[in-house]
Amino acid sequence: MSGRVQGVGFRWSAQTEATSLGLVGFVRNRADGTVEVEAEGADDAVSTFTDWLTSGPPGADVVSVEAETVAPTGGPGFQIR
């Protein structure tokens, strides 16, 4: 996702939201100023999380979210990388 998504607690907030939904995966800042998120879990939980990502936490200004389906990795918990 792009916009003002770094320096606003986006990764921490995303981890909190994903964990509350029972998702596993990760969130990380990218060198180009965007944030990358990978989440897996129940379809409805992933959909709810995707909806949350379109606005993010207070102070964020999400301009765009690009989504694609990837193979599940089954990693432990939801991590900030």
Q: Which of 11, 28, 30, 81 is catalytic?
A: 11
The CA distances from residue 47 to 23, 43, 74, in Å, are 11, 6, 18
Query: Buried b / exposed e across 23-54, counting CB within 10 Å, b at 16+?
Result: bbbbbebeeeebbebbbbbeeebbebbeebbe
Active site annotation includes 29: yes
Active site annotation includes 11: yes
Q: Which of 28, 29, 30, 81 is catalytic?
A: 29
Q: Among all residues, which ones are annotated catalytic? A: 11, 29
